[in-house]
C-alpha cells in the first residue's frame, strides 16, 4: 500500500472573533492511499500556517513540505514516516506549527492502520485500560460571575460530574477572579469537580496567591496560570500551591513536557492535534505515568480530535478524564457524523476500526475555505 495524496482542508466559520475559542476554525487532513483507504486527522494550529507546512515544495533535504515526506511511502510505517516528517522539517520545525501539522498526518496514518487491521486505534497503541472516559465539560468563563453561575448550574443539570471554566475575564482583577470562581462553584454544587483555566494571565507571585485563594473552592486543578515559557515560575508555583497545577497545551515537544514534569506539575495536558499526533501523545502520557502524574488531553476542536484523544487516553494507565469542549460551534458539534455523546457523565471509546469517525461532507463543503 502506498500514500498517493495528502489533502489539507481549511474550515472556518463565517465570523471569527478574538475569544480564545478554538472551534471557530480548523485544519482537517485526509491521507489517501492506492487501495482506496482514506485516513482522517486534524491539526490545531493557525490553519493557513499548518497548511503551508504540509504543502510546501522542496527547498532542500531538511526543508520540505510534510506531504513530500510521505507521498509514495507505506502508510503503515507510522514511526518511520513520523521521523521522515520530523527530519524533513528540521529547518523550520522541531516544534511549533510544524509539529502541529505533523499531528494531522500522524492521526490520519493511525486511522488508516486501524482500518487496514480492523482494529480501533487504542488497541494498536497497546490496548485499553478502560472503555469510557469521564467527561469534563470545557467552556470559557462568561463575562459576568452571574452568567458563569447560570452556565455552571446548567452543566450540572445536564449530568456532568466535572466542568472547567477558562480564560475570558479571569485576570482582570482579584475581585473578578474570586467572584467568577465562587459563582462557578456555587452553580456546580459541591459534588461536581471544578477545574479553573487561568489562560496565561498571571505573573508567578499572583499565581501563587490565587492558588491559595482558589483552594477554598476545592478546584480539581488550576490550569495554565503562567506564560508557557515561565518554567521557573511553574516550579515555584507547584512547590507552593495547595491545589494541582496543570499545563501543557502550548507544548509541542517531548522536551517541553519533560520540563513541565521537572517543574513539578501534577497534570500534563498534551493536545493530540498539536504534539505530533497519537504517536507522540501516548509517549507523553507514558512519561507522565513514569513520574506518577496525571495525563489529561487538551482538546478544543472537533469530533476528530476528541476521537483521537479518546484512543490515546484509553491506552494509558494514568488517564481517566476527558476534556470535552461544549462550545456550540457547528464545527465542534457537527463535523463528524459520530457525536461522541456524554452518557451519565462518560464518553465511550470508539470501537470501530481506526479512529471511528467519519466526516459529514456537507459540513466540510459549507465551511471550506479556498
Ligand atoms: Mg487551557
Residue 163 CA, chain-centre distance (Å), reads 16
The DSSP H or E segment spanning 7 is strand 3-12
Report CA(259)–ligand 1 centroid distance (Å): 18
CATH topology of domain 124-359: TIM Barrel (3.20.20)
3-state per-residue secondary structure call for 110-132: HHHHHHHHCCEHHHHCCCCCCCE
Report CA(138)–ligand 1 centroid distance (Å): 9
Report CA(147)–ligand 1 centroid distance (Å): 20
Report CA(224)–ligand 1 centroid distance (Å): 6
Report CA(84)–ligand 1 centroid distance (Å): 30
Report CA(88)–ligand 1 centroid distance (Å): 30
Report CA(59)–ligand 1 centroid distance (Å): 36
- Grid coordinates 497545551 are at which residue? 249
3-118 classified as CATH 3.30.390.10: yes
Report CA(139)–ligand 1 centroid distance (Å): 10
Report CA(298)–ligand 1 centroid distance (Å): 7
Report CA(223)–ligand 1 centroid distance (Å): 6
Report CA(346)–ligand 1 centroid distance (Å): 20
Which has the closest alpha carbon to 185: 165, 209, 199? 165
CB 272, CB 298: distance < 8 Å: no
Strand partners, 39: 31
pLDDT in the model for residue 370: 87
Average predicted confidence (pLDDT) for the chain: 97
CB 28, CB 104: distance < 8 Å: yes
3-state per-residue secondary structure call for 317-344: CCCCEEEEECCCCHHHHHCECCCCCCEC
Strand partners, 165: 139, 196
The residue ranking higher by pLDDT, 364 or 21, is: 364
Q: pLDDT band for position 19 (50/70/90)?
A: confident
The DSSP H or E segment spanning 32 is strand 25-33
Ranges of each domain in the chain: 3-118, 124-359
Report the distance separating Cα 367 and Cα 370, nearest Å.
Answer: 10
Ligand 1 ion: residues within 5 Å (CB) = 197
pTM, two decimals, is 0.97
pLDDT at 284 over 90: yes
Report CA(206)–ligand 1 centroid distance (Å): 18
pLDDT at 63 over 90: yes
CB 213, CB 182: distance < 8 Å: no
Instruction: Read off the pLDDT of residues 131-189 as tens digits, 9 standing for 90 and up.
Output: 999 999 999 999 999 999 999 999 999 999 999 999 999 999 999 999 999 999 999 99
Report CA(286)–ligand 1 centroid distance (Å): 21
Amino acid at each position: 500500500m502506498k500514500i498517493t495524496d495528502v489533502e489539507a482542508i481549511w474550515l472556518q466559520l463565517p465570523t471569527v472573533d478574538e475569544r480564545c475559542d478554538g472551534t471557530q476554525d480548523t485544519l482537517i487532513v485526509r491521507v489517501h492511499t492506492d487501495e482506496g483507504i482514506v485516513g482522517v486527522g486534524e491539526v490545531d494550529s493557525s490553519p493557513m500556517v499548518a497548511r503551508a507546512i504540509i504543502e510546501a515544495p522542496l527547498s532542500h533535504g531538511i526543508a520540505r513540505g510534510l506531504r513530500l515526506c510521505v507521498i509514495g511511502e507505506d502508510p503503515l510505517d507510522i514511526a518511520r514516516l513520523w521521523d521522515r516528517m520530523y527530519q524533513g522539517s528540521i529547518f523550520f520545525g522541531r516544534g511549533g506549527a510544524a509539529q502541529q501539522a505533523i499531528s494531522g498526518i500522524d492521526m490520519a496514518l493511525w486511522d488508516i492502520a486501524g482500518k487496514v487491521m480492523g482494529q480501533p486505534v487504542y488497541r494498536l497503541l497497546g490496548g485499553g485500560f478502560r472503555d469510557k472516559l469521564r467527561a469534563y465539560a470545557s467552556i470559557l468563563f462568561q463575562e459576568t460571575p452571574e452568567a458563569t453561575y447560570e452556565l455552571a448550574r446548567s452543566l450540572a443539570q445536564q449530568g456532568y460530574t466535572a466542568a472547567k471554566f477558562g480564560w475570558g475575564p479571569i485576570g482582570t482583577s482579584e475581585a473578578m477572579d474570586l467572584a467568577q470562581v465562587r459563582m462557578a462553584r456555587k452553580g456546580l454544587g459541591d459534588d461536581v469537580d471544578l477545574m479553573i483555566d487561568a489562560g496565561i494571565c498571571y505573573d508567578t507571585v499572583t499565581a501563587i496567591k490565587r492558588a491559595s485563594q482558589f483552594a477554598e473552592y476545592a478546584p480539581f486543578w488550576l490550569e495554565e496560570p503562567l506564560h508557557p515559557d515561565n518554567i521557573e515560575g511553574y516550579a515555584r508555583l507547584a512547590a507552593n500551591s495547595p491545589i494541582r497545577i496543570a499545563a501543557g497545551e502550548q507544548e509541542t515537544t517531548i522536551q517541553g513536557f519533560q520540563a513541565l514534569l521537572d517543574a513539578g506539575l501534577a497534570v500534563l495536558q498534551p493536545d493530540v492535534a498539536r504534539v505530533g499526533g497519537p504517536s507522540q501523545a501516548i509517549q507523553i502520557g507514558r512519561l507522565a505515568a513514569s513520574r506518577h502524574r496525571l495525563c489529561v488531553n487538551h482538546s478544543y476542536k472537533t469530533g476528530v480530535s476528541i476521537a483521537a484523544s479518546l484512543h490515546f487516553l484509553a491506552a494509558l494507565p494514568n488517564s481517566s478524564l476527558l476534556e470535552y469542549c461544549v462550545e456550540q460551534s457547528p464545527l465542534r458539534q457537527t463535523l463528524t457524523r459520530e457525536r461522541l455523546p456524554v452518557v451519565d457523565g462518560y464518553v465511550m471509546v470508539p470501537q470501530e476500526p481506526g479512529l471511528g469517525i467519519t466526516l459529514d461532507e456537507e459540513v466540510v463543503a459549507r465551511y471550506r475555505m479556498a
